Chain A
Amino acid sequence: AQSVTQPDIHITVSEGASLELRCNYSYGATPYLFWYVQSPGQGLQLLLKYFSGDTLVQGIKGFEAEFKRSQSSFNLRKPSVHWSDAAEYFCAVGEGTDKLIFGTGTRLQVFP
């Protein structure tokens, strides 16, 4: 069965430091891949998505993600984290069946 793994439940970084959130998926073909962000008490906001083509995709708020087929990964990165980036981040996979499979999320804490 298709699955999405976010191995880091909680990450803490200092403001200005770089960030990488990991996402691994299990799927036979090339999936549709997404990253969403959720601030406390809010809904989910789409950060970026990958469907095909260039494996490095740019998103909103200065985030980017790289699709690596050989590693079945779609890691999210940001070169310099801001305090406002503190939130929970979800990776999701579209499996071509009208549905998305979500990871369990990574909570990001940012220290000044």
Chain B
Amino acid sequence: DAGITQSPRHKVTETGTPVTLRCHQTENHRYMYWYRQDPGHGLRLIHYSYGVKDTDKGEVSDGYSVSRSKTEDFLLTLESATSSQTSVYFCAIRTGSQETQYFGPGTRLLVL
């Protein structure tokens, strides 16, 4: 257990509405990541953060933004949700060196 929580765990929303997902960690890790998981695609990186206010894009960042105003929280925002963003979203933290990542329980998002 790497002390990662995600909220909400489930969400149903409508196309065009903004959505914010929260990832919270309790162990002060510098690196945090947002992934989406879709059948046939495995996990794909959306954005990641390497410190407070330091973020970078992943391979599927279009339509998503992130913010990290304090070490423990990493927020993922869908500015205007689309049906293609229906997915399961996972947050992860990286511990120390060697790029080992540990994952949160996930958020299941349905965009109608």
Using CB atoms and an 8 Å cutoff, list the residues of chain A in contact with chain B. 32, 34, 36, 42-46, 49, 51, 90, 94, 96, 98-100, 102-105
Contacts and interface: CB of A to CB of B under 8 A. Distances in A.
Contacts of A36: 103
Nearest to A50: B98
Summarize B's interface: helix, strand, loop or mixed. strand
Contact of B50 (A44, A90, A96, A98): A98
7 contacts: A43-B103, A44-B43, A44-B103, A94-B99, A98-B31, A102-B43, A104-B42
A32 B42 contact: no
A100 to B, nearest CB: 6
A49 B96 CA distance: 14
A107 B90 CA distance: 19
A98 B94 contact: yes
Summarize A's interface: helix, strand, loop or mixed. strand
B: contact size bracket? 20 to 34
Nearest to B102: A46
Nearest to B90: A43
A42 to B, nearest CB: 7
